[in-house]
Structure 1
Amino acid sequence: MKGGKCMDIQERIKQLMDTKGWSEYKLAKEANLPQSTISHLFKRNNAPTYPTIEAICRAFGITMAQFFADEGEAVVLTLDQKELLLLWGTLTQEQRQIVISTMKHFNNND
């Protein structure tokens, strides 16, 4: 993400929402933020505060470094993410499909 412009941040949030299939309401719920906060980001072109971005990152399960990383740029993983990757490497292809299916199921539940 070049710069740090408000529009870049909004675009990144929108990209993450699209990836997960989340609405503004779902993001607000998952980030434990008022829906008006998320709505104002897009409708009023408000720049999010640091705590808001932090809450959004937690909701998406990513670090701030991952949020602001340019495409292809190396990012630092959290301990939980590292553990998941290590465990992933020990699974069979069939087990991986089960995990993916389960995670998609959890992701789609409100």
Structure 2
Amino acid sequence: MVNLTERIKELMDKKKWTCYELSAQTGISTNAIYDWFKIGATPSLGNVVRICDAMGISLEQFFCGATSYQLSVEEKEVLDQWFALSDLEKAEIMHLIETFRIIKNNA
């Protein structure tokens, strides 16, 4: 399991950011940031998202590291559309993809 404060510190070190800089970039109070490191308070998921946005990384990269896959703009668009579909529509899309695989393998 990822230790949130250790991961935040690791990312801050890579950016050469102080707690003050992280606060300025995210809008999270410096007191909250100091509490994470000094008294072991746990950052909320909302604050982790703000940190990711400020650092230009995804939540996946935050939790999995730099080796995670970067989605292209087209892939992000497909995923956005996918999440808006009903279960029936998703099943139909998966059936269509399987049909394309069969056609491709028989060609």
TM bin (shorter chain): 0.5 to 0.7
Aligned to 2:41: 46
Shift of 1:32: 1.1
Q: Which AA in structure 1 matches 2:33? A: I
Distance, in Å, in 2 between the alignment partners of 1:54 and 1:45 is 19
TM-score by length of 2: 0.61
- Percent identity of equivalent pairs: 34
Structure showing greater Rg? 2
Match of 2:29 among 29, 34, 37: 34
Aligned to 1:65: 60
Q: CA RMSD in A?
A: 2.0
- The answer to whether structure 1 residue 10 and structure 2 residue 10 are counterparts is no
Choose between structure 1 and 2: higher helix proportion. Answer: 2
Assess if the C-alpha contact under 8 Å between 1:63 and 1:77 holds in 2. Answer: no
Change (3 A) 1:20 1:33: same
Which structure would you say has the larger RCO, counting Cα contacts within 8 Å and 6 or more residues apart? 1
Consecutive unaligned residues of structure 1, counting only runs of 5 or more, are 83-110
- SS class of match (1:46): coil
Consecutive unaligned residues of structure 2, counting only runs of 5 or more, are 77-107
Aligned to 2:97: none
Distance, in Å, in 1 between the alignment partners of 2:59 and 2:72 is 10
Across the two proteins, how many residue pairs are aligned to each other? 74
Shift of 1:37: 1.2
Distance, in Å, in 2 between the alignment partners of 1:20 and 1:78 is 24
